[in-house]
Amino acid sequence: MAKVAKTAQKKDPKLSAEAKNYTKVIKAVRSPESGAYTFKEGMVHKDKVKDFLANVK
């Protein structure tokens, strides 16, 4: 018998639908001391992306 792939398992459709509302946001921030860029990232609800980008310093 063949094994069942882990991706073939049934998932809760409600949880799957909720996960689609989140976005990974990455912003490049310049360091004042060295001038090098660092990256701030986070998983944010799609309605709060602008707030995340405005508040990351």
Residue 2 in any domain: the answer is no
Residue 23 in any domain: the answer is yes
**The whole model's pTM is what?**
0.64
Residue 4 in any domain: the answer is no
- Could you tell me the residue range of the domain that residue 38 belongs to? 12-55
Dihedral (CA of 41, 21, 53, 48) sign = negative
Count the domains in the chain. Answer: 1
Name the pLDDT band for 57 (thresholds 50, 70, 90).
confident
Residue 18 in any domain: the answer is yes
Q: Phi first, then psi: what are they for 48, rounded to 5°? A: -115, 20
pLDDT in tens, 4-22: 666 656 677 777 788 889 9
What distance separates the 2 farthest-apart alpha carbons in the chain? 61
23, 47 Cβ separation under 8 angstroms: no
pLDDT in tens, 17-43: 888 899 999 999 999 899 999 999 999
Name the pLDDT band for 1 (thresholds 50, 70, 90).
low
